[in-house]
Amino acid sequence: MEELMNYYHFERDQWRQFYSNEKIEISQNSLNQIKAFSDRISVLDVDEVFLPLTKLIKLRYNEYLSWQEEKTDFLQLPQKRVPFILGIAGSVAVGKSTSARLLAKLLEKFLPDAKVDLITTDGFLYPNRVLQQKEIMNRKGFPESYDMEKMLTFLNDLKAGADAVELPVYSHQIYDIVPDETQILEKPDILIVEGINTLQLPSNEMLYISDFFDFSLYVDANPRLIEQWFLERFGMLLDSAFKDPTNYYYSLATGDRNVAFEHAKKIWREIDYTNLREFILPTRNRADVILHKTKHHKIDDIYLRK
């Protein structure tokens, strides 16, 4: 990747030294549990990339708590808990949700008193019915396919210290918002928000979603590799779909596999890759940290905003 302005660049070998073994704050047993949980992430990735990253986020979190306290003192307001929000952006299929799940587990271990929750912005996509009405079914994931107002209100309510906030749930299996299901968040201390649009400026809005974030990550990789990961995930979706007629991929899964993969390649080319080039990649340098991946999801370079 070309050098980015205003970022420190670390190769993995340098970065891993920022979490030295003497300072380990979690037991080997807990670490093993995390590794077992995330079997698709290598043990080395946890040790060499995610432990230093979690340590850095913890520094920011502690600084955030002090600032919240000082700010409310200064304004002579009563103290209240306001969640620390961590955004994770990047292409479809680059590994945002896998990284987000691992970070959530690690933060819970590093900060045992903090309530850590995780959401995906997929929940703010318009349901297929609305996308069809607007004739933008082939633009799923593009800025106009999200109910940005709903998402901004949700984030605003959270930052205002609401007792409970609710958001819709998206399912890759039905390829739609799940009817009559919501996710409820009750006063998290840390909220991880993962999604392709987390660093975007919503259309017709004056506010970046990232204005609500206290820390942000962008997961980056060569689009050719991401296409491969997209197709591998598609293969897994097909494998789990062919016994379930309610699954969106059922007819593709029960038909000719080559036809199904040709379909997926077209989707990648016309929708997800176009979205990456036009709307996702341009947001990369708004992130505090960029994790760059190479073959087999190996993180080789880490960029930290100066």
Annotated binding site for ATP: 90-97
From 154, 201, 297, 303, residue interacting with ligand ADP (rule: CB under 6 A): 297
The nearest distance, CB 174 to ligand PAZ, in angstroms, is 11
| Residue 225 φ/ψ, nearest 5 degrees | -70, -40
Q: Among 117, 106, 121, which residue's Cα sits nearest to residue 191?
A: 117
Count Cα neighbours of 47 within 13 Å in the Cβ-side half-sphere.
Answer: 9
Binding segment (CB under 6 A) for ligand ADP, from list 7-15, 25-33, 37-45, 63-71: 37-45
Tell me: does residue 95 bind ligand ADP (CB under 6 A). yes
Structure tokens at 303: 């960029």
Tell me: does residue 267 bind ligand PAZ (CB under 6 A). yes
CA distance 244 to 260: 16
Q: Among 269, 237, 221, 286, which residue's Cα sits nearest to residue 87?
A: 286
Amino acid at 14: Q
Burial call 4-40: b when 16+ CB within 10 Å, e when fewer: eeebeebebeebbebbeeeeeebeeebbeebbeebee
Binding segment (CB under 6 A) for ligand PAZ, from list 75-83, 91-99, 129-137, 236-244: 91-99
Tell me: does residue 286 bind ligand PAZ (CB under 6 A). no
Binding segment (CB under 6 A) for ligand ADP, from list 61-69, 76-84, 86-94, 242-250: 86-94
Tell me: does residue 196 bind ligand PAZ (CB under 6 A). yes
Tell me: does residue 137 bind ligand PAZ (CB under 6 A). no
Three-class secondary structure of residue 94 per DSSP: coil
Tell me: does residue 239 bind ligand ADP (CB under 6 A). no
Q: What is the DSSP letter of 147?
A: -
User: CA separation (Å) from 177 to 42, 203, 220?
Assistant: 32, 21, 27
From 46, 48, 89, 97, residue interacting with ligand ADP (rule: CB under 6 A): 97
Tell me: does residue 93 bind ligand ADP (CB under 6 A). yes
The nearest distance, CB 96 to ligand ADP, in angstroms, is 3
271 binds, among ligand PAZ, ligand ADP, none (CB under 5 to 8 A by kind): ligand PAZ
Are 286 and 299 within 8 A, CB to CB? no
Q: How many residues bind ligand ADP (CB under 6 A)?
A: 16
Tell me: does residue 101 bind ligand PAZ (CB under 6 A). no
From 92, 192, 193, 287, residue interacting with ligand ADP (rule: CB under 6 A): 92
Tell me: does residue 86 bind ligand ADP (CB under 6 A). no
DSSP bridge partners of 192: 86, 118
Q: Among 194, 173, 190, 202, which residue's Cα sits nearest to residue 287?
A: 194
285 binds, among ligand PAZ, ligand ADP, none (CB under 5 to 8 A by kind): none
For ligand ADP, the binding residues (CB under 6 A) are 40-41, 45, 90, 92-98, 229, 232-233, 236, 297
| Binding interface with ligand PAZ (CB under 6 A) | 92-93, 96, 122, 140-141, 196, 267, 271-272
